[in-house]
Amino acid sequence: MGNMSEADVLLRQAAGYLKPEDLAQLESAYRFSAQAHDGQFRKSGEPYVSHPLAVAEILTQWHLDPQALTAALLHDVMEDTAVTKAEIAEKFGKMVADLVDGVSKLDRIEFESQEHEQAENFRKMLLAMTRDVRVILIKLADRLHNMRTLDVMQPKKRARIARETIDIYAPIANRLGLNGLFQELQELSFRHLFPTRYKVLQKAVNSARGNRREVVNRILEAIRTRLEESGIAAAVSGREKNLYSIYRKMQEKHLTFSQVSDIFGFRVIVKDVPACYWTMGALHGLYKPIPGKFKDYIAIPKANGYQSLHTTLFGPFGMPIEVQIRTQEMHKLAEAGVASHWLYKASDTELSELQQKTHQWLQSLLEMQTQSGSSIEFLEHLKVDLFPDAVYVFTPKGKILAMPQGSTCVDFAYAVHTDIGNRCISARINNELVPLRTVLRNGDRVEIITAAHAKPNPAWLNYVVTGKARSHIRHFLKTMQYEESAQLGERLLNQALSALQTRPEQVPEDNWVKLLKDGSLHSKQEVLAEIGLGKLLAFVVARRLLQLGDYDPEASARLPGSMVIRGSEGLALQLAKCCHPIPGDPIIGYIRKGHGLIVHTHDCPVARKTRGDPDKWLDIEWSSDTDRLFAVNIKLVVSNQRGALARLAAEIAEAGANIDNVSLEPGDSSAYANIHFTLQVKNRPHLALIMRGLRRIPEVIRINRLKG
């Protein structure tokens, strides 16, 4: 059933600060975990439950609350056994289940690439993914115990886990201000990554330690005496450098071991902030300070809340001495970081002050939600939201992309590659098909599905958030509009030329050159696009090309014949929103400057108002083979019966039309309601068929097409 004596150690440690009922919950969580992991063993041969026990024990050193300890005992059951989140929630409460789920989610993410930027993004993603700081603390304790027991693993796996620890988990511990944990993780990683270098350094440090002891004692004595003389009460201690920091200094600054080990470190802990500065003054009187080697982290704390004065002095025989000066309060924060806020809680008043301090210190780290009294509540609201403006998502190959908050699948597609953005048609998030407008969340794995003939949709501009996506969509639409306007312009010009009894190929090339020069235009294409966009009139251009002098509206008859349109000409042709023309309606075209050809129905009141300028109006007609669907609005007055809307929708579907939009407004009395539909239809006969079908429904009182 697992090892109960280890459980006793945990309960004894927790009993120091938890209530009896909390201890009972821990004991039942231990039994639950032991049962779930029954028959599972670690690589070392110990029963598996010894690992969650050890993790919970590490957390008791930070005085974590009962939920976190319970979650630590259960943190592997969802991963490794058949237990579900619902079972945990039922037995131990929703909060514990959420914590276990959070830790399991982090376990599932495999760190794949060793690149520095990838590691940085990975760290940020882990921090952003965990809404509750306790998830990270459990994960860090889990990693610490795994690192302490790494010897039984294969060398290759050892190196991978150690590399991941030094790249990702140690910096997270540092960011959260957990100094002791940060150093131990670094030290253990160093030992497993470079075992030989570690042994050599360890040996060198041990042999140097003997010679150093006498020097350290002399300096300690001198500092203590000077502080006593100055009337400053202080605890002074010599500081051992850890092996990894010695190794890093040697590597980064190209120093030899003796150069690094010649630096002696001391820590002075005093009662309050003024005493820190007095101490520094006293020490600068004892040994000369080295210029430029003084840092005041009390006035300007580090991002993780760390505060101390750092100064480097010329010691006896010119040896450099590094001194850290801090208060007891600062020392607790430096050692336990974010955990210190519930580790050293004395009273509620002190806690709220601590919370305000946390707010200032960990501004970049922790988002405070409340000024609450109890440490449990405080914890709940202590959110790790270090990078609130970014979302971290995976490509299918496991690369991490940092996207701005609110990014959609379209933003992601453009972030991967412009062509993928331009050709995307749908997306999969975590293997599920989703619409392109879906907003991405931390840790999502996103795959974009493209099609060769797809092109950007103007509607994307309503929801993309990245500048890259927006500018590429705009650029594409502009280019597309230019090309489509040129095609329309060519048709208009050919029509104008044929009215003057000329075929396009009969226009002499010199006439084109002269036209371009006079109008300071660059190419034939540009002339055609300007005609299509309504900036130049086709018949004016035609007369100039044939050098017939300026156009005389009185002498010139209207253009013969009408132009045929299919409605699928793209951005150069727009169907007027005021009258929604559909194939079968008599239509007329208006060339609006900068917008191209706008199609209205003959009887459109808006068109009637602007009929003053005959040059801008063209006779156009529908092609017999239009190949798209057109929007049309209809309004129905129906009696308010149950299921009426369903019957209407079924009838519309039956007639082979699509409903684009539906809105209801109450009628004149509660017996009737007005319903507006926007339908997608092929042409006028199709619309007539739909309306006939709708009239047959008994609830329909009146039906008509809306053109306004």
Q: Provide the pLDDT for residue 336.
A: 65
Is CATH 3.30.460.10 correct for 200-338? yes
Cβ-count burial of 243 within 10 angstroms (0-12 exposed, 13-18 middle, 19+ buried)?
buried
Question: 339-363 pLDDT, tens per residue?
Answer: 555 444 434 444 344 444 433 333 3
Cβ-count burial of 361 within 10 angstroms (0-12 exposed, 13-18 middle, 19+ buried)?
buried
| Percent above pLDDT 70 for the chain | 80
**Mean per-residue pLDDT for 158-168?**
85
Q: Provide the pLDDT for residue 489.
A: 80
Q: Provide the pLDDT for residue 279.
A: 94
Cβ-count burial of 519 within 10 angstroms (0-12 exposed, 13-18 middle, 19+ buried)?
middle
Q: 144 falls in which pLDDT band (50, 70, 90)? A: very high
**Mean per-residue pLDDT for 289-305?**
83
Structure tokens given for 550: 């300026």
Least confident window among 144-148, 153-157, 298-302, 694-698: 298-302
The Cα–Cα gap between 616 and 320 comes to 88
**Mean per-residue pLDDT for 11-20?**
83
**Cβ atoms 515, 545 nearer than 8 A:** yes
Question: 391-440 pLDDT, tens per residue?
Answer: 778 888 877 787 888 899 999 999 998 899 999 999 999 889 999 999 99
* Dihedral, 219, 225, 227, 229 alpha carbons, nearest 10: -150
Q: 502 falls in which pLDDT band (50, 70, 90)? A: confident
Amino acid letter, residue 100: V
Q: Provide the pLDDT for residue 566.
A: 64
Q: Provide the pLDDT for residue 448.
A: 93
Q: Which one is catalytic: 22, 27, 46, 80?
A: 80
Q: Is the dihedral of CA 239, 243, 247, 248 positive or negative?
A: negative
The Cα–Cα gap between 71 and 59 comes to 11
Identify the top-confidence range among 75-79, 166-170, 686-690: 686-690
Residue corresponding to tokens 């780290």: 365
DSSP string, 283-346: HHHHSPBPTT--EETTTS--TT----EEEEEE-GGG-EEEEEEEEHHHHHHHHHGGGHHHHS--
Residues written for the chain: 708
* Residue 73 pLDDT > 80: yes
Q: Which one is catalytic: 79, 117, 221, 377?
A: 79
* Residue 38 pLDDT > 90: no
Question: 367-393 pLDDT, tens per residue?
Answer: 322 232 333 333 333 333 334 457 778
**Cβ atoms 540, 492 nearer than 8 A:** no
Higher-pLDDT residue of 172 and 199 is: 199
**Cβ atoms 676, 632 nearer than 8 A:** no
Q: 318 falls in which pLDDT band (50, 70, 90)? A: confident
Q: What is the CATH number of domain 390-465?
A: 3.10.20.30
Number of neighbouring beta carbons within 10 Å of residue 560: 9
* Residue 559 pLDDT > 60: no
Higher-pLDDT residue of 516 and 186 is: 186
Residue corresponding to tokens 């929103």: 577
Q: 668 falls in which pLDDT band (50, 70, 90)? A: low
Higher-pLDDT residue of 106 and 491 is: 491
> Long-range contact list for 153-160, CB < 8 A, 24+ apart?
153/43, 158/192, 159/192, 159/193
**Cβ atoms 364, 303 nearer than 8 A:** yes
Can 200-338 and 390-465 be said to share one CATH topology? Answer: no
Residue corresponding to tokens 């009838």: 651
353 classed as catalytic: no
Could you give the 3-state DSSP secondary structure of residue 241? Answer: coil
Q: Provide the pLDDT for residue 47.
A: 87
Question: 259-293 pLDDT, tens per residue?
Answer: 776 677 899 999 999 999 999 999 999 999 988 88
- Domain 4-195: CATH class, spelled out: mainly alpha
DSSP string, 33-60: HHHHTTT-B-TTSSBTTHHHHHHHHHHH
**Cβ atoms 261, 208 nearer than 8 A:** yes
Element housing 530 (H / E): helix 524-532
Domain ranges in the chain are 4-195, 200-338, 345-384, 390-465, 474-622, 630-706
Least confident window among 44-58, 95-109, 366-380, 637-651: 366-380
Q: Looking at 423-504, list the stretches that DSSP marks H as alpha helix, in order from N- to C-terminal side.
A: 467-499
Cβ-count burial of 404 within 10 angstroms (0-12 exposed, 13-18 middle, 19+ buried)?
middle
Q: Give the mean pLDDT of the chain.
A: 78
**Cβ atoms 316, 328 nearer than 8 A:** no
Amino acid letter, residue 275: A
Least confident window among 12-26, 156-170, 205-219: 205-219
Q: Which residues contact 579 (CB under 8 A, 6 or more apart)?
A: 600, 601, 603, 604, 606, 607, 707, 708
φ, ψ at 534 (rounded to 5°):
80, 10
Q: Provide the pLDDT for residue 128.
A: 53
The Cα–Cα gap between 53 and 72 comes to 8
Question: 82-135 pLDDT, tens per residue?
Answer: 888 888 888 888 888 888 887 876 665 655 545 555 565 565 556 555 566 778
Q: What is the CATH number of domain 630-706?
A: 3.30.70.260
* Residue 459 pLDDT > 80: yes
79 classed as catalytic: yes
The Cα–Cα gap between 102 and 109 comes to 12
Question: 596-615 pLDDT, tens per residue?
Answer: 678 888 888 887 777 666 66
